Amino acid sequence: MGSTILIDDLETYIGQYGTHGAIQRLQFIASKTEQVALKTEATKLRLDLLKRTTNCKGYSSCYAELKELLEGSSTAVPPYDSVWVEATQGQASKLKDLYEQDLHQAKVTQIKDSIRTCHTQLTGLCTEQGDYAGALKYASKSREFCTEPQAVFSTCMTIIKLSALCRQYDDIQSFTSRAHHTPFKDEASQSKICAAYGLYYMATGKYKEASFSFAQVKQQDLGSTFSDVLCAQDIALYGVLCALASLDRNEVQSKLLDSASFQECLDLAPSIRDVALDFCNCRYAACLTSLERLKEGLLLDVHLHGQVADLCLQIRSRGIVQYFAPFISVSLHSMAEAFNTDVDGMQSEVASLVGKRQLDAKIDSHKKILHVRHANQRTATYKSAMRVSQEFANSTQALVLRMNLLKHDFGVHVVRQKK
């Protein structure tokens, strides 16, 4: 997807998502990008999409943004639809009154299911108006009135959707696990749960779990209800990035590339599939170059934005570690070539990896050669034994003294004046 965020493709890209998801992404792109053209395009598209909802506030503010952007340029500002705004506002407030009356009535009758339905109606209304926080409130209330597992599940899904729109990833986790524990689910629901889990893990930096979750998602099961959160291409993209950052080559091959269901997702995003294939076939230079090319686009992804730098760094270090694994010694020149950088850059990268103990090697900076470290087991064992015994002796001694202090009830205490 990443590279497809070009101005002409923006419409196709955004077309995969549901209205709300699209609005969220467009807003994010407009706020992060430096390119004015892209910004304008995103804002324009958002304005159109907002008109499909009843979000008048969003419409007005989006219009103001667009006006500011187009100021001074030759393009004409589209007309402001004040009739629509007024009509929608009126209708919305009427609907709200109506729904709240319904809710009141339902509460009087004390029929659980109708209370839940009223809450759901209000949730839908708030969502349409772009008030996701308010919608979340109604949705979590409606959960208390669920009587059937199906209802519980659908409420959880609504909450997950709304949390994703608000980017509250912690809530995603708790409600995904609730949804996961409701009985009588079909396979399609399982895919959604996995996708939601994956999103949560990725946002919190647990890439390994994230990649496993994404790998279990089946593309056709995701359906339209989940399109406000993730689309199949996202699954492929997120899954591959997380896997490259956390798994080794064999695992990437077996868990992702050889998995039939994930393959379908991958085929939708050929660019990221090539990255994964390059990585698995040890073509690190190609892999990292295309990753670098994708990076700009990735930074504009609403869920991925915070993780991109970390992910890319980890993929790179993983590549270096795996590249070095079969060698006893290797020239930094050839390594630099393989990773598309110069010798000095390579050396400092390797040095930082060694410093972090991810790479057990030593650098011969004079001859520019990287050697595997020959650890002297005997010395190391002796040293660690000495260290542990010293620590043990010290702490035991301190504790014996402390025990005696406690026995005497001795310590730094406030001196109480005797009355």
For another protein, which is the closer residue by CB, 109 or 377?
377
Provide the token pair at 102: 């319904």
What is the β-pairing status of strands 369-372 and 361-364? antiparallel
Distance between CA atoms of residues 346 and 323, nearest Å: 13
CA distance 347 to 333: 10
Burial class (CB in 10 A: 0-12, 13-18, 19+), 193: buried
Q: What span, in angstroms and rounded, lies between the C-alpha atoms of 324 and 128?
A: 54
What's the CA angle centered on 111, arms 107 and 117, to 5 degrees? 80
Within 10 angstroms of residue 41's Cβ, the number of other Cβ atoms is 21
Q: Tell me: does residue 321 bind another protein (CB under 8 A).
A: no
Question: 408 or 419, CB closer to another protein?
Answer: 408
Q: With contacts defined by CB under 8 A, how many residues of the chain interact with another protein?
A: 39
Nearer to another protein by Cβ, of 67 and 402: the residue is 402
Note whether 328 binds another protein by CB under 8 A: no
Task: Check the CA dihedral 8-9-11-14 and report its sign.
Answer: negative
Tokens linked to 198: 């994956």
Contact residue for another protein among 413, 416, 418, 419 (CB under 8 A): 413
DSSP for 204-222 reads TT-HHHHHHHHHT--HHHH
Choosing from 93, 105, 220, 404, the residue that interacts with another protein (CB under 8 A) is: 404
Q: How far is the CB of 419 from another protein (least distance, A)?
A: 19
The footprint of another protein on residues 380-399 (CB under 8 A) is 382, 385-386, 389-390, 392-399
**Nearest distance, CB of residue 356 and another protein, angstroms:** 10
Residue selected from 34, 411, 416, 417 as contacting another protein according to rule CB under 8 A: 411
* Nearer to another protein (CB atom), residue 7 or residue 385: 385
To another protein, the closest distance from the beta carbon of 349 in angstroms equals 12
Nearer Cβ to another protein (208/362): 362
- Between residue 351 and residue 380, which ones bind another protein under the rule CB under 8 A? 351, 354-355, 362-367, 371, 376, 378-379
Q: Tell me how far apart the alpha carbons of residues 297 and 305 are, in angstroms, rounded to a whole number.
A: 10
Element (H, E) at 12: helix 10-15
Q: How far is the CB of 350 from another protein (least distance, A)?
A: 8
Closest to another protein by CB, 183 or 355: 355
Site membership for another protein, residue 412 (CB under 8 A): yes
Q: How far apart are CA 195 and CA 222, in angstroms?
A: 9
Judge contact between 123 and 98, C-beta under 8 A: no
Pick the piece of the chain touching another protein (CB under 8 A) from 52-60, 163-171, 289-297, 404-412: 404-412
Least Å distance, CB 205 to another protein, is 21
Among 75, 326, 414, 416, binds another protein (CB under 8 A): 414
User: Which of 77, 54, 52, 51 minimizes the C-alpha distance to 64?
Assistant: 77
Q: How far apart are the first and last CA of the chain?
A: 79
* Binding residues vs another protein (CB under 8 A): 351, 354-355, 362-367, 371, 376, 378-379, 382, 385-386, 389-390, 392-406, 408, 410-414
